[in-house]
Amino acid sequence: MGSRIGLKDVALRAGVSVPTASRVLSGVQRNVDPELALRVRNACDELGYRVNAAARALRIQSTDSLALVVPAIANAYFAELVSAYSRRLDLQGKRLVTIDTGESPESEERQLGAMDRVLVDAVLVVPAAFERSGAAITELARSNRVVQVDRRARGVEAPSVRLDNAAGVRLLVEHLRARGRRSILMVDAQEDSSSSIERTAAFRALAGPDDRVLEMPNFTVASGTDAAKLLLANPGDTDAIICTADTVALGLLTALQHAGKRVPAEYAITSFDGTYISDTAAPGLTTLGSTAERMVEASLALLDDGSDDVVLKPELVVRGSSG
């Protein structure tokens, strides 16, 4: 049984007792002689000892890590959200473990169902779907602290932090109208996500007879280029576009430019996420500012004090793509 080295091996080599070794390593529960502490630390080095995560967590009932479950890490919006959480938690000495559900409620259910194999103190989840994610998240929330981030799922009582999507749509529509645009096309993904639902609903409520909605299969750059083809095949009076994701806007922008269309002269393009894409596209994309930092702050605060839902106000960032 000498295979794995445990704390008692360290204590033995350092010539101290197990409690003392523990006191040196983990807590400052009580003062220990600096000389003994040094011996313990040296013994650790020499033996290559590392504390057993499972044993420690079992006793302590706490790991210093959170899980973040996102639908698609390849989406720049979620990638930036992950980065923001990771940086923020790193400052606190905590770890973020990220899990990708591939925009698939089935995979999400598997991963959430197996979350009891991963050691975390709480789970931050961006639900893949509004309807189909509810059951798995509710189940998870029975035994874990759960916060819904960016999206919600139907019937889940876990608190949520999200953007005021209706206000965001209103900001973009009013901006485009103020610039004299008459016919707006909203390009959305037909994913069953709460944010998509809220955005299209808000848009339809504000839309006039000349405004349209185009549903693409997902939030990828390729969907943007496909949307451009569909638009060019059936241009109508459209002179302005609202994309519900920066990735889609990027594909749309480059495809329109490649087809010889001028942006913003012929088409004003706006978008939602405020990722680096909106900043580096040429021309820059008018978009709602990034809410990643605020979402991170709000959701972590919510985990601490257990307050209620948080709805963030969007801000408009005007760049060249809207004239």
Applying CB under 7 A, which residues contact DNA?
1, 4-8, 15-20, 22-23, 25-27, 29-33, 36, 49-52, 54-56, 58-61
119 touches its own copies (CB under 8 A): yes
Binding of its own copies by 262 (CB under 8 A): no
Dist CA 159 CA 145 (whole Å): 10
CA 247 to chain centre: 15
DSSP letter assigned to residue 313: P
Report yes or no: 25 and 60 within 8 Å, Cβ to Cβ.
Answer: no
Footprint (CB under 8 A) of its own copies, residues 205-234: 220-222, 224-225
Query: Nearest approach, Cβ of 128 to its own copies (angstroms)?
Result: 13
- Work out how close the CB of 138 gets to its own copies at its nearest, in angstroms, rounded to a whole number: 10
Least Å distance, CB 13 to DNA, is 12
> Closest separation between CB of residue 56 and DNA, Å?
4
Residue 83 binds to its own copies (criterion: CB under 8 A): yes
Q: Considering the rule CB under 8 A, would residue 255 count as an interface residue with its own copies?
A: yes
Residue 112 burial class via C-beta count within 10 angstroms: exposed 0-12, middle 13-18, buried 19 and up: buried
Contact 268, 323 (CB under 8 A): yes
Rg (CA), the chain: 25
Q: How far is residue 67's CA from residue 80's CA, in Å, rounded to a whole number?
A: 16
User: Residue 39 CB, nearest distance to DNA (Å)?
Assistant: 9
E-strand spans in the chain? 65-70, 95-100, 122-125, 146-149, 160-163, 184-189, 212-216, 240-243, 268-271, 286-288, 310-312, 316-317
- What would the two tokens of residue 225 be? 């280029």
Q: Which does 18 bind (CB under 5 to 8 A by kind): DNA, its own copies, none?
A: DNA
Among 79, 207, 317, 318, binds its own copies (CB under 8 A): 79
Residue placing its CB nearer to DNA in the complex, 60 or 311: 60
Q: Which of 58, 201, 205, 230 binds its own copies (CB under 8 A)?
A: 58
The DSSP letter of residue 27 is: -
Cα dihedral across residues 225, 226, 231, 233: positive or negative: positive
Question: Contacts with its own copies in 152-191 (CB under 8 A)?
Answer: none
Where on the chain is the footprint of its own copies (CB under 8 A)? 48-58, 63-65, 67, 72-74, 76, 79-80, 82-83, 86-87, 90, 93, 95-100, 102, 107, 110-111, 114, 116-119, 142-143, 220-222, 224-225, 250-251, 254-255, 257-258, 276-277, 279-283
